[in-house]
């Protein structure tokens, strides 16, 4: 054999091949690492709290498939469920037992729900929930919040315009103005702004849409009463309250944010943990709403791979863990342990760095002021600090998502040893940055 035929391509060669074959070298933009100015990290394998790159370097991973993994990577229960299901058929295009069982498990966690419709992503779940709300109410307008993310369907790629919050603009090329006109954007936490929309345009409003805990522009924890206020305002004008629990579902409580805040939405969207790392999404709610979907009702929705048997099997294992009190206690203990390990390191940081936690969701906020509640608190200095910190943490073998707008995820595999490993790496990263004057607070 010639030497060249045995030589493995280098990481750089893989990156170049990726850039030739995939737009930006990726299948989803944040993975390009452009927002932190680094070369992308290519994953080879992962287990529990750790991920390995193509050269065998081991990282503590807080990306965790952006929150899809309750038990960490390649949890043996999920792997076994997939191995059992796959030989029986990878897709039928017919109803199978797994989707009935997973629907029943979802309903057991969400007692206010009576039906579940499975789809293949969180994006599809939100798209379906919005269509359902519009079909039920016969209205077009959707109110959502600046800083929340609800997937990449056309009508969700609308951002707050400058000036009055009620004027929106497309946040992506290719989204027509006609869709923008059907969206109103309000600032997070601003109940008065929502009241104003309800007062002036309440009769046009099909849905008020909000994340259970806003976690897509950093972790923007709101007052406990915020979602309750939205519940009341939606009811007042006959709009549906759609709670997007793609991240928070099964994570912040067995019943997600609706349980945690004791609020009953009209419809909930789910994803991530629901599929244990397999492609999935779902819409759930009372029969009087969900039965308006085809084939019973006039709101059309369908999918070749919806209720996919392999995804359902993985989902059953994943949801089973998330509903198990012992596993939940482990998750909470791990999150507390990480917070306790990081807090003293952050307190000694050469710039302001606060570890913000909401259960197993966390965000290292590199800002001088109070923890932000709106995305506009994130400025240039915070982005610069995060960029430098991300690169140094990577060098010390801890992987945060490559954007300040993404949060970190703790799993049941992130135990005390992993927390200690993370704290040591963070200390090393901050020591590396100690002499960097550009990261200090201005003035």
CB of 249 to ligand PMP, least distance (A): 9
Contact in structure between 147 and 374 (CB atoms under 8 Å): yes
3-state SS assignment for residue 187: strand
- Rounded CA-CA distance 252/328 in Å is 10
Instruction: For ligand PMP, give the closer residue by CB, 273 or 418.
Output: 273
| Residue 149 designated active-site | yes
Alpha-helical runs (H) found in 138-183: 177-180
Instruction: For ligand PMP, give the closer residue by CB, 259 or 421.
Output: 259
Catalytic option among 53, 75, 146, 149: 149
CB of 245 to ligand PMP, least distance (A): 8
Could you list the residues that contact ligand PMP (CB under 6 A)?
66, 121-123, 126, 149-151, 211, 216, 244, 246-247, 271, 281
Q: Which residue is nearest to ligand PMP (CB)?
A: 122
Catalytic option among 146, 244, 266, 415: 244
Contact in structure between 323 and 105 (CB atoms under 8 Å): yes
Instruction: For ligand PMP, give the closer residue by CB, 216 or 422.
Output: 216
**Cα atoms in the 13 Å half-sphere on the side-chain side of 280:** 35
- Rounded CA-CA distance 361/407 in Å is 7
| Residue 244 designated active-site | yes
Edge-to-edge strands of the sheet including 205-211? 115-119, 281-285, 267-270, 240-244, 205-211, 141-146, 183-187
Residue 150, token pair as written in the block: 């609800």
Output DSSP code: residue 282: E
Residue 345, token pair as written in the block: 């390191």
Q: Classify the phi-psi angles of 24: left when phi > 0, otherwise alpha if psi is within -120 to 50, otherwise beta.
A: left
3-state SS assignment for residue 327: helix
CB of 134 to ligand PMP, least distance (A): 18
Residue 324, token pair as written in the block: 């198990």
What SS3 string covers 189-234? Answer: CCHHHHHHHHHHHHHHEEEEEEECCCCCCCCCCCCCCHHHHHHHHH
Residue 8 CB contacts under 8 Å (≥ 6 apart), including other chains: none
Residue 427, token pair as written in the block: 């200390």
3-state SS assignment for residue 264: coil
- Rounded CA-CA distance 155/138 in Å is 17
Beta bridge mates, 281: 119
CB of 174 to ligand PMP, least distance (A): 17
Instruction: For ligand PMP, give the closer residue by CB, 18 or 148.
Output: 148
Dihedral sign for Cα atoms in the order 425, 428, 430, 432? negative
CB of 122 to ligand PMP, least distance (A): 2
3-state SS assignment for residue 241: strand
Beta bridge mates, 141: 205
CB of 156 to ligand PMP, least distance (A): 8
CB of 127 to ligand PMP, least distance (A): 9
CB of 281 to ligand PMP, least distance (A): 6
| Residue 272 designated active-site | yes
Which positions are catalytic? 149, 244, 272
């Amino acid at each position: 054999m010639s030497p060249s035929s045995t030589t493995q391509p280098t990481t750089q060669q893989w990156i170049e091949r990726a850039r030739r074959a995939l737009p930006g070298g990726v299948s989803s933009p944040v993975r390009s690492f452009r927002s932190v100015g680094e070369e992308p990290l290519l994953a080879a394998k992962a287990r529990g709290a750790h991920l390995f790159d193509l050269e065998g370097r081991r990282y503590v991973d807080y990306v965790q498939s952006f929150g899809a993994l309750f038990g960490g990577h390649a949890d043996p229960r999920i792997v076994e469920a997939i191995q059992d299901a796959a030989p029986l058929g990878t897709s039928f295009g017919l109803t199978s037992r797994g989707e009935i069982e997973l629907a029943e498990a979802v309903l057991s966690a969400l007692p206010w729900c009576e039906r579940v419709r499975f789809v293949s992503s969180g994006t599809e779940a939100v798209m379906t929930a919005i269509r359902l709300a519009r079909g039920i109410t016969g209205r077009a307008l959707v109110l959502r919040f600046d800083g929340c993310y609800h997937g990449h369907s056309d009508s969700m790629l609308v951002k707050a315009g400058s000036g009055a919050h009620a004027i929106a603009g497309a946040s992506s090329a290719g989204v027509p103005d006609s869709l923008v006109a059907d969206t109103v954007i309000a600032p997070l936490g601003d109940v008065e702004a929502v009241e104003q929309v309800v007062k002036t345009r309440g009769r046009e409003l099909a849905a008020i849409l909000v994340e259970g805990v806003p976690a897509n522009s950093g972790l923007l924890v709101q007052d406990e009463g915020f979602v309750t206020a939205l519940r009341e305002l939606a009811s007042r004008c006959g709009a549906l309250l759609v709670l997007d629990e793609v991240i928070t579902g099964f994570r912040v409580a067995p019943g997600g944010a609706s349980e945690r805040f004791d609020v009953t939405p009209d419809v909930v969207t789910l994803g991530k943990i629901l599929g244990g790392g397999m492609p999935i999404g779902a819409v759930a709610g009372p029969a009087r709403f969900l039965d308006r979907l085809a084939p019973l009702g006039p709101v059309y929705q369908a999918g070749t791979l919806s209720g996919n048997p392999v995804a359902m099997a993985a989902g059953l294992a994943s949801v089973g863990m998330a509903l198990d009190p012992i596993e939940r206690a482990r998750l909470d203990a791990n999150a507390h342990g990480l917070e306790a390990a990081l807090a003293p390191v952050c307190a000694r940081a050469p710039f302001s760095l606060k570890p913000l936690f909401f259960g197993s969701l966390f965000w290292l906020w590199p800002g001088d002021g109070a923890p932000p509640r709106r995305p506009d608190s994130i400025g240039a200095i915070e982005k610069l600090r995060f960029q430098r910190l991300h690169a140094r943490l990577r060098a010390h073998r801890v992987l945060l998502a490559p954007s300040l707008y993404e949060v970190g995820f703790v799993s049941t595999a992130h135990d005390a040893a992993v927390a200690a490993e993370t704290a040591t790496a963070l200390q090393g990263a901050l020591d590396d940055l100690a002499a960097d004057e550009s990261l200090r607070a201005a003035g």
